[in-house]
Amino acid sequence: MATDDISTSRRKLMQGATAGLMTAVAARAIAQSNAQQDGQSTGNQAGVPPDPRSLYAHPPFPAQHQPWPGLAGRMTPRPDHGENSYRGSGKLTGRHALITGGDSGIGRAAAIAYAREGADVAIVYLPEEEPDAREVVQLIQAAGRKAVALPGDLRNESFCRKLVGDAQHQLGGLDILVNNAARQQSHDSILDITTEQFDWTLRTNLYAMFWLTQTAIPLLPPGSAIVNTTSVNAYEPGVNILDYAMTKAAIANFTKGLAKQLIDRGIRVNAVAPGPFWTPLQVSGGQTTQNLEHFGERVPMKRPGQPAELAPIYVLLASAQASYVTGQIYGAMGGEGQP
């Protein structure tokens, strides 16, 4: 389900993003980029996709940290959300999508892809993420679609319930809901997680999803789709992200149970379970410095995924092409995991 046409412009974007890294890292990234641009050097024949192992930047990554919630524009290397590579084909023409966490990471990749597939898109994000959100709004508009920006804190129930109506009104309808926003903070031990921190994670990852979905259901016509973001941590929980992992397991369970309820309304419910993906979630407290430098190294692919590599899955699950798919968890984990 990964996009076959990995464009030269994307490779150049990721090569350029590695500028400023330590010499060894930069040299390695440039060598990988050159290999991608030369089909013979990767052993590929004309029309054969590039070797997935050689795509994008590989660890080690430079030490870096941002205050929560982090910005994609300040990451090194900068994540690829499909800005210069995703090509639409009308799969979501006339649709109306609400995406939480749509300013960066996986949500941003979905927003770009949805717009280029013909959908109008509303994105939800924290006010601190405004610089990233402005870029997404411009990309949606450049695709010729309507963009709606809805800044606010998903831990607030009244905000969650209001934003659903605002999105429907400003978009002129609502038939896709993507529950993607999440909080992840690294803690070596359960003894280090305060009640305040635990509540922050659960309200962001679970309460908001519940409130948004509950409010949206009466507004969603038959044929609509709900796509949730769970994680490999639902199946193989990381030792240092206990509270985050338990919410992702709950999201997988919620998806399967809700799908059984909503099919009577003609609404499909599915989820995507990513493995290690290069997003601001990781550099703003989601990983330790040591884990971040070697992020993605342990999976069989030997690198983290880029948000652009998930976009086609989110498109499929929202589109009529997946008309018989509901209650499913789609894994994209670089070679590990269970769904």
pLDDT of the residue at 256: 98
CATH number at 73-332: 3.40.50.720
Token pair in block for residue 110: 């979905």
- Per DSSP, the three-state class of 229 is strand
CB 101 within 8 A of CB 310: no
In the predicted structure, residue 9 carries a pLDDT above the cut 70: no
pLDDT of the residue at 10: 42
When pLDDT is cut at 50, 70 and 90, the band that residue 17 belongs to is: very low
The stretch 216-230 carries a mean pLDDT of 98
Describe the strand order of the beta sheet including 96-100 as a list of residue ranges.
Answer: 147-151, 120-125, 96-100, 176-179, 225-229, 268-274, 329-332
When pLDDT is cut at 50, 70 and 90, the band that residue 246 belongs to is: very high
Per-residue pLDDT tens digits for 18-74: 433 333 433 343 333 333 333 333 446 678 999 999 999 999 999 999 999 999 999
Please tell me what DSSP assigns to residue 305. B
The stretch 217-228 carries a mean pLDDT of 98
pLDDT of the residue at 289: 87
What's this model's pTM, rounded to 2 decimal places? 0.87
pLDDT of the residue at 47: 84
Phi, psi of 178 (to 5 degrees): -115, 105
Per-residue pLDDT tens digits for 183-205: 999 999 999 999 999 999 999 99
In the predicted structure, residue 266 carries a pLDDT above the cut 70: yes
How far apart CA 198 and CA 181 sit, in angstroms, is: 16
How far apart CA 42 and CA 33 sit, in angstroms, is: 11
Rounded to the nearest integer, the mean pLDDT of the chain is 89
When pLDDT is cut at 50, 70 and 90, the band that residue 312 belongs to is: very high
How far apart CA 311 and CA 305 sit, in angstroms, is: 11
When pLDDT is cut at 50, 70 and 90, the band that residue 1 belongs to is: very low
Specify the domain boundaries for CATH 3.40.50.720 within the chain: 73-332
The residues assigned a catalytic role are: 244
pLDDT of the residue at 54: 93
* Distances from the Cα of 23 to the Cα of 10, 60, 73, 325, angstroms: 22, 12, 21, 47
- Of 180, 211, 185, 182, the C-alpha closest to 196 is 185
Q: State the virtual CA torsion across 237, 80, 88, 150 in degrees, nearest 10.
A: 70
How far apart CA 15 and CA 217 sit, in angstroms, is: 43
Q: Which residue has the higher pLDDT, 203 or 8?
A: 203
| Burial class (CB within 10 angstroms; exposed 0-12, middle 13-18, buried 19+) of 45 | exposed
Phi-psi category of 70—alpha, beta or left, where left has phi over 0 and alpha has psi -120 to 50?
Answer: left
pLDDT of the residue at 338: 79
pLDDT of the residue at 82: 97
